[in-house]
Structure 1
């Protein structure tokens, strides 16, 4: 299950250490204690660190980690894990950056969402895990999450979960209005028109403007608006994938075919329950949220593959998901990595899956028990088969900006205008592009289109 992280604006936060963050170290300097060296660390060294013991602090909000900590401490009784929730998403990133800049008060291990990982990795506040042989774990994870933790030639975290996208749809509504489950986004637009014409109070989906959704849709369309090579960054929302999304979604906005309802609001939950919001294109972490948030619609909903931008394709994208990273300033890096490996590549994976997390590990995505799991909420459908296929088909090559948290915070000031005025999505994306380029240049990056 994905705990919803509300992404609030971070105007003026100064997420990057200084104007030349990417060019200089943002960490508090050299560390002492286990794992502070830069050379390879053997399995024997990790075992010795665990046997010696100590205390590590983990900043994370993901609820299944509580049980993981309990089991880790039972297996390694000389190690104590102090699990602290300092806030979800942006709240934690603010606290984390403040600790980095102060040179003290930070954790040994931090949960970092994939979209935010680059800014901390390139800011040199995260430990490159290559010295532990982390790159050897690549085949254990699905492509999307692994690509996200691979930054500028290094491995800066281990994937904790994933969010391959699927189309959640209200079968009861589709049957009532004789709609066909769309296999392409053009068919999706057609369904939107038919539904709203038949019932002016019903909409194919909601969308009040969301940066994460927009970038995920562009990702699935084959877009590569962000290109990052060290300190060289380019932003181009006129590429083919971005244009496909903007042109198609503009039809929905221009004809008022999407409910102007903010996700996670009371009105949103009501719409999902009463059938006035008929679909959601979102990550595989959504089922648990439907079960807990919209219990009255149990049995009405189903899951289908994400509609395609080109008939016959099977391209997917990620929406959401987090990693665990070791802070470069940690005096207990070996213990930190040992916890990461236990939680994200060891026994902790099954613990989290039992708690409702969606896996990033291919062995679990492919296991028969996982694939055969029946979801009562979806009328007994084996929905994991859809999610697993989506995870395998995530389009490759996607990159986020090394200051994506800031970029997302100004989404509503740029692209968001297309949802509340005559501004087009294409114009909004151009404004977002310009704002992102300017901010990057101000932070010392070499930027351009």
Structure 2
């Protein structure tokens, strides 16, 4: 998820189209083949492939991918990279799934968000990059992003960017109401009530019910609602972490402290610009979006760690981010794999991504003194990357997504919209969402249990 491209962030709320798995697990798996390229290669074989004339096709929506492709072609003049934007997020996943089912038509390389990786990896649709030695790259990436692209010894993609969560806040609003910047969720709720009571048009944040935000908040609370072991899936959206989050968020929903303003709309950006929306709890890719779309807030925004359930804790979660994967159908896996590595793990490709606003998933860049010293005027000269880099290290480990998370996210609003608009508890929302997700998973051939 790029910090500099609002439309890329929109995809978390644009998943209403969903993605239907290809009939059943068996049908999906059997239709994913078709490539004749080897799944293993030595470093010498990979280097040799780059000296032979060939073409790879890349499906991606992130704006950085095109200049990365141009740089790759300049470095390897025998290679042509055909970058195609076939749609953002769910639109691309639908086309990928159709190609998998047909057994042909998939690209060599695809951009895939972290939450969608299990859907494609479980169906054997993504090439295992460990056969190219890329398992040795583990220490190059943050633990949370590496966990999102791997399963055991298999490496199904390489992380391109990340979205560790932090609290973006308006210093001027907190100063206006004499409120200290909250470090705990109890303080956050109290701050919300203080400012909204003083001015009914002042809100601590906005939320109309977003699946990606909800799962990230449960993650930050220590929840593990999804447990996946192959085709065996357990869903518990009433676990301790989920309950911990709703115990806080229900108060804000029920007392009207949340702006009912859909994200990524003009109205939303106006609220961020004029300060009527005082905080954003979101991924580290957000600064570029604020600078571009909420320019009037320049100098007033700051960044702080996420509020905690227990004073002194440092837990956070990921929200957004994408990987680059090689499709199993590819007939040019060696070149596709090297492009994937160039885009995510090599200096030239990474820098292009950073210049376009992507937040690093690579530990060396997160700890680079120059990166940590950046002090944007928009954020009042604060060294915001010190906070955001630490957030990357504080992500709660061992989170899992459903192998049908794309579909699950697409139906969240079916349960959530009325609760947000009517100011009622979110606990029944999560319960209904879990049941609907489980029903769908069972229909697709998974062994699903709910608690």
TM-score by length of 2: 0.95
For 1:397, the equivalent position in structure 2 comes to 398
Report Cα offsets for 1:317-340 as digits up to 9, x if no partner. Answer: 000000000000000011100000
Report Cα offsets for 1:351-379 as digits up to 9, x if no partner. Answer: 21122211000000000000001111101
CA distance in 1, matches of 2:102, 2:152: 25
For 1:17, the equivalent position in structure 2 comes to 22
CA distance in 1, matches of 2:354, 2:267: 30
What number of residue pairs does the alignment pair up? 443
CA distance in 1, matches of 2:122, 2:104: 19
CA distance in 1, matches of 2:20, 2:107: 17
CA distance in 1, matches of 2:73, 2:63: 17
**Displacement of 1:197 after TM fit?**
1.1
Relative distance call for 1:5 and 1:331 in structure 2 (3 A) is farther
Please tell me whether the aligned partners of residues 342 and 348 of structure 1 are also in contact (alpha carbons under 8 angstroms).
yes
CA distance in 1, matches of 2:19, 2:413: 19
CA distance in 2, matches of 1:342, 1:15: 32
**Displacement of 1:102 after TM fit?**
2.0
Report Cα offsets for 1:72-95 as digits up to 9, x if no partner. Answer: 100000000001111111111111
CA distance in 1, matches of 2:32, 2:93: 16
Relative distance call for 1:317 and 1:161 in structure 2 (3 A) is same
CA distance in 2, matches of 1:270, 1:422: 23
Which of 14, 29, 36 is the matching residue for 1:8?
Answer: 14
> What are the ranges of 5 or more consecutive residues in structure 1 without an aligned counterpart?
none
Q: Is 1:31–2:32 an aligned residue pair?
A: no
SS at match of 1:263: coil
For 1:417, the equivalent position in structure 2 comes to 418
For 1:64, the equivalent position in structure 2 comes to 64
For 1:138, the equivalent position in structure 2 comes to 138
For 2:310, the equivalent position in structure 1 comes to 310
SS at match of 1:447: strand
For 2:98, the equivalent position in structure 1 comes to 98
For 1:324, the equivalent position in structure 2 comes to 324
For 2:165, the equivalent position in structure 1 comes to 165
Please tell me whether the aligned partners of residues 152 and 230 of structure 1 are also in contact (alpha carbons under 8 angstroms).
no
Report Cα offsets for 1:138-161 as digits up to 9, x if no partner. Answer: 110011111100135421000000
Please tell me whether the aligned partners of residues 152 and 229 of structure 1 are also in contact (alpha carbons under 8 angstroms).
no
SS at match of 1:399: coil
CA distance in 2, matches of 1:402, 1:180: 41
For 1:185, the equivalent position in structure 2 comes to 185
For 1:441, the equivalent position in structure 2 comes to 442
Pairing of 1:350-429 with structure 2 (within 5 A): 350-421=351-422, 423-429=424-430
CA distance in 2, matches of 1:152, 1:20: 20
CA distance in 1, matches of 2:24, 2:104: 21
- After superposition, the CA RMSD in angstroms is 1.4
Relative distance call for 1:105 and 1:24 in structure 2 (3 A) is closer
Please tell me whether the aligned partners of residues 415 and 427 of structure 1 are also in contact (alpha carbons under 8 angstroms).
no
**Displacement of 1:415 after TM fit?**
2.9
CA distance in 1, matches of 2:19, 2:400: 22
Report Cα offsets for 1:393-431 as digits up to 9, x if no partner. Answer: 100010000000000011011133321236521111000
SS at match of 1:420: helix
For 1:216, the equivalent position in structure 2 comes to 216
Report Cα offsets for 1:4-40 as digits up to 9, x if no partner. Answer: 24343556x662112234x8625443422xxx234x3
Please tell me whether the aligned partners of residues 226 and 233 of structure 1 are also in contact (alpha carbons under 8 angstroms).
yes
Relative distance call for 1:24 and 1:411 in structure 2 (3 A) is closer
CA distance in 1, matches of 2:53, 2:309: 52
Relative distance call for 1:368 and 1:204 in structure 2 (3 A) is same
> What are the ranges of 5 or more consecutive residues in structure 2 without an aligned counterpart?
none
Please tell me whether the aligned partners of residues 416 and 428 of structure 1 are also in contact (alpha carbons under 8 angstroms).
no
Report Cα offsets for 1:195-227 as digits up to 9, x if no partner. Answer: 111111100000000000010010011100000
TM-score by length of 1: 0.96
SS at match of 1:52: coil
Which segments of structure 1 move beyond 4 Å, counting only runs of 4 or more? none
For 1:298, the equivalent position in structure 2 comes to 298
Relative distance call for 1:366 and 1:26 in structure 2 (3 A) is farther
